Structure formats: structure tokens, C-alpha cells
Amino acid sequence: MSEGKKYGGLDRFRMIAAILVIAIHTSPLASFSGNADFFLTRILARIAVPFFFMVTGQFVMTDYLYDNDMASGRLFQYIRKTALVYGLAVMIYVPVGIYAGHYKSLNIISAIRMIVFDGTFYHLWYFPACITGVLFVYLMSRCMGRKGMMAIAAALYAVGLFGDSYYGLIKDVPILSVMYEFMFQLFSYTRNGFFFAPVFLISGALTGRKNHVGKKPGQIFGLTVSFLAMTAEAFTLHYFKLQRHDSMYLALIPVMIFLYRLLLSWDKKPSRILRNIAMWMYILHPAVIVAVRGGARVIHMTALFVDNSLVHYFTVTFLSGLWASAISCFISGKRKINPTGRAWIEIDRAALRNNAAFLRSKLPKRCRLMPAVKADAYGHGAVLIAKELTRIGVDAFCVACALEGVKLRKKGVKGEILVLGYTHPEEFFLLYRYRLTQTVIDYAYGVQLNEYGRRLHVHIGIDTGMHRLGERSENIDFICKFYHMENLKIDGLFTHLCAADSFGRKEQAYTNLQAEEFYKVVHELQKRGYSCPKLHLQSSYSILNYPELAENYARAGIALYGVLSTEEDTEEWKELKPVLSLKARIAAVKNLYAGESAGYGLGFTAGHNMKIAVVTIGYGDGYPRSLSGGIGTVLINGCKAFVIGRICMDQTIVDVSEISDVKAGDEAVLIGKSGEAEISVCDIAKQAGTITNEILSRLGARLERIVV
């Protein structure tokens, strides 16, 4: 997440929500005042579960509501995780349920109802409600817009209201009472994944968008008014004994929207540990209730720890929090790895999506992006980039070799993956096993692919003048023979425009000639009765400079990552935003006195007393050694620090004499922004005498890559 958008307020409120859920199940004020306890547990505490649904809506469902072409990877990852937690919770409470006699009259129908709707213990209904709710919202997102979805969700909530707090209004209406009694054979309550969850999932997704967060005073006023309305509504329903249950109120929806907006303005750092503690408090507190009551009987202190509802509540809350903290710390300690501990790459999700949207805007609707994620997505992290692009509807990628495609498949990347380069015949099995599409690089290679004996998907490479890979365009008879090879399934044809990065007269003429040669092949094949399923000519520069050559795919490469090969080209297309930042830590700050040398080979000798810092990155990470000796700079505290001496494999020494308050552990920026200062990859490429493609592609595998 970006620095400007932190969700620590949500993490802190998770703890409050978990404590409120415990209150629902312990009735803290019951020993003192029935009305006060009703207010706490049946009004105030009813904001807890809708809050959990809204968080899920924001972080799981937002993309589905705002892009109907979204793939479902994140959704099903969430469902798998939730189902796993639900299964674990079920196992925890099976012994308790048996002891309490919950399963005495269990049959197949009641077991299904319990698992799918009601939960196997009284608080576990939340997990199946999450699963069914997000699935239902996802299915709606595939066939209607946000307004239609919200209308249906609101209508379902209204139906749920009359099976919950407003049940007394319809229980004596013949048709409605029969309908609801039938519903209650399927599930015990309407506060479930169909009637209760969708409206809050959608509200969370909509409210969580940055432009939906309003001014804090307005949110406080709206929350106050709507909460007072909900309080009046709840006490009125309670007074007239209309409630069958008390989870759903009409005013609960505006209460939650105003509350959620207010929490989004609570600017705190996110806390995974608080998230985990809140989750485990929710799961464990009924077991703690049983333990406290049993323990109180054993020590003959039931009057204090059970009959006194407030002491009972605080005891359960304290012990639940204690156990949840212990479990969360154990889990965090087992798996905690700091990705920003040494040197790392930050991937800007918003910039990546911006670039994809801009490139799509340059293409007709029939033309789809086939991003080049070769060379580890130009150093950005192929799996990470492919999964982010999958979430915005991209379902085709191209790589340089079969092993790059295999890596994507093993990490769950679906869709078409085209291998642009050579695959050795001994590795043809990888093409078949991992459903990769191979480029036919010439006629002899096509024969080898066919002789493998298993049906392989291929694109035919057409050499129209780059003279690298592909069958020469004039060899139309050889190209036709590919269609007669029984083991080749031809899915497309493509060429590569080698001079599309320039608008010089010579380069334009050559690009147009290449396009003409390619279309001659296509037309001749069609004339002879052969199909040409998918065509593609464009890479990054030709998308920008020759949009008229768009066909079925466009192989966006360097432009997708927010830069072009040179500084001049990048400056021309300001709509593109850099996706990658490269950062490292300062390991040590030292004094270097006049006459002393630093680094290998005495490459730098101080002419005066100075202060130097050791940065935890070197040429082993892909930082160019050619930036040694004062050529390169890094940013520390928004100021430039020049590289001194020779860049080492794992460290780089910089001059920080003019930068105040530099200490070990501080962040150094090698590519990206620090304060108002910025070093672009174009700057580094220019200093190193190369192009941005090389700088990015050589960034090392040991650099951690994280999405912000």
C-alpha cells in the first residue's frame, strides 16, 4: 500500500470489534441493567461483524466491482484461506459441541445447514457467511454494474430484516410467515451470507475507494445521527417485542458507512499482529467462556467469575486476548521475514495499472495486451507482475524461455504463455506438461516440434527483416507446411518490428516494409485456405508509435513498466509512470580522515575529513559497477550522496558529509524518490552508458520484491 494510504486504523478497530463480539456472548452489564446491556450488546456491539465484512469487501472485492474483466485469483485465494480457518475452528469446537449436546439430533440436512449457513458453533456462522457472501457478490459483478449490485444487496437485506429484527411485523401474515418458516428450515437466521453479508461487502468495496473518504467532521456528524437513529430503532423494536433476532437494523447500513469512512481517515501504520490477535480472539473466546465457567466451578468462585457479568466479561476478554496474543506471536515468530531488511524493490501497483490502462487506450478493443514478463518481468518480478496484471483482466503473457513459463505456471498463473525464444528438444516435455505455447523459429525447428509426438500449441514466427528468429517471410511454402504437421496446433502468427523505436525516415520506411511483408504472408495463407487465428506485430514502441498496426495481441514490454529505453523517449510519454523503486539500507556510518583510502584497490582517497556511509547493495544485486568513482549517486533523507571508490559485490560506499542525521538502518534510494529528489532508471542508464532495459533486467534475484 502507498505511503499516503495506510490502514492502521482498520487494524486497531479490529481489536475493538473483537472485544465487542465477546460482549455479545457474555452480556457484561446484565447484572446491573437490562437496558444498558441491551444497548451494549444488541446495538453498539452490532457494528462489529458488519465492520469485518466491510474490510473483506474493501480488500477482496473492490477490483471485481470496478473491473468486470477481473480474473478470480484473489477471490479464490481468500476463499481457500477462509475455509482453512473455518475448518480449523470447526475442529477446535467439535469436542465442545459434543460435550454441550449440540449434535444429538444431527442428520444430513441439519449437518449441511450447520456447515454452510449456521456454523458448527454459535459464533462460527461468520466464516461460511464470508464465503457465500463473496461468491454471491462476485457472481453479481460478472453480470451487472455497481448500482444494480447494491440494489439487489439492499433488497436482500430488507428481506433479511423481516426475518430478524422486524419479524414481528410479518409473522402473522399468512403467505409471508409460510415463506419465512420455509427459509428457516434451510438456515436458522437471515443474518447469513445471502441476506446480511452482501450489502456490507459491497459497501466496504465502494467506501474503501480513496475518493469516497470524506471530511472527518462530516463523518462524525453522520455517524452520530445514524447511530442515534439505530438506537431508537432498536429500543422501539425491543419494546414492542418485534425481534426474532437482533443482528439487522435499517439504520445499521448508514452507521457502518460513516464509521468506515471515519476509520479510513485514522492514519496509522498497518499492524499484522493486531489483525491476527483480533481473529484469534474471535475464534477462541467461546472456548475461553467454557473454560472460565468450568474453572470457576472447580475453585468454587462461580459467584465472582460467572454470576458477576462484568467480572466474567473482563476475565474472558483478558484470557482470550492473552491466548490470541500468544498464538499470534508464535505464528509471527515462525514466519516473520523483513523484506526491507537489506536491499529491495518496491513495485507500485497503481503505476502498473495506470500504464496498462494507458497502453490499452492506444489499442482497439479487439487487441489485448500480451505483456512481456521475460527476464523476470524486466527485473520487476515475473510472478508478482503477472498476478497483478491477471487481477485487471490480462490473460496472456510472453516469456523468453520455457523455464520462465514453467515458473509462472507453478505459481498459479493461468492463461496463454507464449515462449518467444528457443526451447531445446529435450525440454519439449515442459511445453506439453505446463501448457506453454512455443514459437516456431524456422522450418527445421517446426519439424522437430512435430516429431515430439504430442500435440503442442505454437505461434509461427515470421522473419520480416530483423533476421533473428522466425521463418523468412518469402518462404511461404515452408510456412504452409506447418499447417500440415499433425502435432502442431497453430494459434497465431507474429513478427517483430526492429526499428519501431524511431521516427527517422529510414526507420519508418523499414517498419512499414516489415508490416507489408507480414501481411503478405497472412493474405497468402488466407488465399490458400489456411487460418491465421491470432496476429501480433507490436511491442512497446510500436504500440506507441504505430497504433494502426494493432491486431489481436500487443506484446507490451518496457513501456508497461513506466519507462522507455532512453531518457528522451521516456520524457515524450509522460503518461507512463515508473513502476519500480530500488532501495537499500545503510549498514554503517564512518569517519574517513584526510589521506585515508576507502574500498578495493585504494580507489578513493579522502582529500579532507569526511563522513561516509556503507549501503547494502552492490553489483551482485545488479547495481552497475560502472557507476563507481563518483559517477553514481544515491538518495538519503532527500539529498544526493555520491558513490566513492569501487562498487563492491554486496556494498557501495557513499559520501554523506553534507547530509545531516544519517545513521545505520536508514533507507537509501537508488532508483525512485526520496523527499523532493528523484533518481530515475533513465539517469542510471545514461550514467552507465546503456539503456533502461538492461539496467532493470539485471537487477538481482536476491532483491526482495514487494507491492506497494
Task: Give the active site residue among 374, 387, 534, 583.
Answer: 374
Identify the band that residue 331 occupies on the pLDDT scale cut at 50, 70 and 90.
Answer: confident
What is the C-alpha separation between 533 and 489, in angstroms, rounded?
11
Q: What is the pLDDT of residue 103?
A: 74
Beta bridge partners of 369: 554
Q: What is the pLDDT of residue 261?
A: 92
State mean pLDDT over 471-500: 97
What is the C-alpha separation between 404 and 387, in angstroms, rounded?
14
Q: What is the pLDDT of residue 340?
A: 87
Q: Is 506 a catalytic residue?
A: no
Q: What is the pLDDT of residue 6?
A: 60
Question: Where do we find the cell 493461468?
Answer: 414
Q: Is 374 a catalytic residue?
A: yes
Could you tell me the three cell numbers for 576? 507512463
Q: What is the pLDDT of residue 102?
A: 72
Q: What is the pLDDT of residue 68?
A: 46
Q: What is the pLDDT of residue 67?
A: 55
* Under 8 Å between Cβ of 168 and 244: yes
Q: What is the pLDDT of residue 4?
A: 39
Q: Which residue has the higher pLDDT, 456 or 101?
A: 456
* Under 8 Å between Cβ of 615 and 587: yes
Identify the band that residue 106 occupies on the pLDDT scale cut at 50, 70 and 90.
Answer: confident
- Please say if the pLDDT value at position 488 is more than 60: yes
Instruction: Return mean pLDDT, the chain.
Output: 93
Picking from 211-220, 537-546, 643-652, which range would have the lowest pLDDT averaged per residue?
A: 211-220
The string of pLDDT tens digits covering residues 35-47 is 999 999 999 999 9
What is the C-alpha separation between 582 and 680, in angstroms, rounded?
10
Picking from 53-57, 68-72, 116-120, which range would have the lowest pLDDT averaged per residue?
A: 68-72
State mean pLDDT over 212-237: 88
The string of pLDDT tens digits covering residues 342-391 is 999 999 999 999 999 999 999 999 999 999 999 999 999 999 999 999 99
User: Any idea what the Cα angle at residue 194 is, between residues 192 and 196, rounded to 5°?
Assistant: 55
What is residue 142's DSSP assignment?
Answer: T
What is the C-alpha separation between 616 and 614, in angstroms, rounded?
7
User: 567 — phi, psi (to 5°)?
Assistant: -65, -40
* Sequence spans of domains, the chain: 1-30+272-333, 43-270, 370-379+393-562, 580-707
Task: Give the active site residue among 5, 81, 410, 600.
Answer: 600
Beta bridge partners of 655: 612
What is the C-alpha separation between 594 and 359, in angstroms, rounded?
54
Q: What is the pLDDT of residue 333?
A: 63
Q: What is the pLDDT of residue 573?
A: 95
Best CA proximity match to 8, nearest among 371, 253, 273: 273
* pTM metric for this prediction: 0.64
Percent of the chain scored above 70 by pLDDT?
96
The CATH classification of domain 580-707, taken from the options 2.60.40.1930, 3.90.105.10, 2.40.37.10, 3.40.50.300: 2.40.37.10
Best CA proximity match to 653, nearest among 615, 626, 627: 615
What is the C-alpha separation between 514 and 519, in angstroms, rounded?
9
Question: Euclidean distance between the first and final Cα of the chain, in Å?
Answer: 4
**198 burial type by CB count under 10 A (0-12 exposed, 13-18 middle, 19+ buried):** buried
Picking from 103-117, 200-214, 333-347, which range would have the lowest pLDDT averaged per residue?
A: 200-214
The string of pLDDT tens digits covering residues 233-266 is 999 999 999 999 999 999 999 999 999 999 998 8
State mean pLDDT over 555-582: 96
Q: What is the pLDDT of residue 338?
A: 78
Identify the band that residue 459 occupies on the pLDDT scale cut at 50, 70 and 90.
Answer: very high
Q: Mutual orientation of helices 402-410 and 382-390 as an angle, nearest 10°? A: 60
- Topology of domain 370-379+393-562, per CATH? TIM Barrel (3.20.20)
- Please say if the pLDDT value at position 214 is more than 90: no
What is the C-alpha separation between 377 and 535, in angstroms, rounded?
22
